């Protein structure tokens, strides 16, 4: 099975990448989900989305197996945030064309996101970036992709409603590299809370961002 990359970001946290080469049914068979999860996956009509969603769950399953833990399935809370059925680890997952990613942590909330560099992000840049961030990226598509992925990650860590990406989720200027750290901020009740996120350029056209709660 193509779990092509695994990293331990610290002793309590690990993440991985799955390259999607199998059919959705092959992926579901490999996942061997329990009845409720199988029903959810089989109910996804779009073949590619079904494959991506299943592959992301397989990343979590494989990461747990590396920790000698059994995969008991993934459920979703009322806010849409996924969680393990047995609550053994905190998790987050993401997927896009051809790849899926997942992250686990023993106790802290986590977030992960994968985005493909694509021109359509230029159209939504003003909606997701503050005015200062727009000036900083200067229409650099790769930087916009990192900003977008970082904000998605920060949102997933906290899963709070009523957050505006261009004012409540902020990222400090950074020098683009293959991988690096990002100083990011979440605005809660008027106060900016700082978080350190990490990003990774994968296979030239994809950026992965991940992090954990303080």
pLDDT in tens, 89-100: 999 999 999 999
CA pair distance 183, 194, nearest whole angstrom = 7
Judge if 104 and 127 occupy the same domain: no
Judge if 91 and 21 occupy the same domain: yes
Residue whose token pair is 């009740």: 189
Judge if 65 and 134 occupy the same domain: no
CA pair distance 16, 102, nearest whole angstrom = 6
Question: 59-102 pLDDT, tens per residue?
Answer: 999 999 999 999 999 998 878 889 999 999 999 999 999 999 99
Instruction: State which residues form the domain around 72.
Output: 3-108
**Any residues with CB less than 8 A from the CB of 142 and at least 6 apart, and which?**
117, 176, 201, 207
Query: Model-level pTM?
Result: 0.95
CA pair distance 74, 103, nearest whole angstrom = 13
Q: How many CB atoms lie within 10 A of CB 57?
A: 28
| Of the residues 108, 140, 156, the one at which a domain ends | 108
């Amino acid at each position: 099975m193509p779990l092509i990359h695994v990293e331990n970001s610290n002793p309590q946290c690990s993440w991985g990448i799955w390259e999607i080469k199998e059919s959705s049914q092959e992926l579901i068979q490999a996942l061997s989900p329990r009845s409720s999860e199988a029903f959810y996956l089989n109910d996804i009509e779009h073949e590619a989305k079904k494959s991506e969603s299943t592959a992301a769950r397989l990343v979590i399953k494989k990461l747990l197996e590396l920790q000698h833990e059994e995969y008991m399935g993934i459920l979703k809370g009322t806010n849409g945030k996924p969680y393990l059925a047995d609550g053994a680890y905190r998790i987050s997952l993401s997927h896009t064309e051809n790849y899926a990613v997942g992250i686990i942590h023993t106790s802290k909330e986590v977030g992960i996101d994968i985005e493909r560099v694509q021109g359509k992000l230029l159209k939504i840049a003003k909606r997701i970036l503050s005015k200062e961030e727009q000036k900083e990226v200067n229409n650099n598509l790769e930087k916009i992709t990192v900003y977008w992925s970082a904000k998605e990650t920060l949102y997933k860590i906290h899963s709070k409603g009523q957050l505006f990406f261009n004012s409540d989720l902020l990222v400090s200027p950074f020098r683009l590299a293959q991988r690096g750290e990002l100083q990011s901020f979440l605005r809660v009740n008027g106060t900016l809370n700082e978080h350190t996120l990490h990003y990774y350029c994968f296979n030239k056209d994809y950026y992965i961002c991940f992090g954990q709660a303080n």
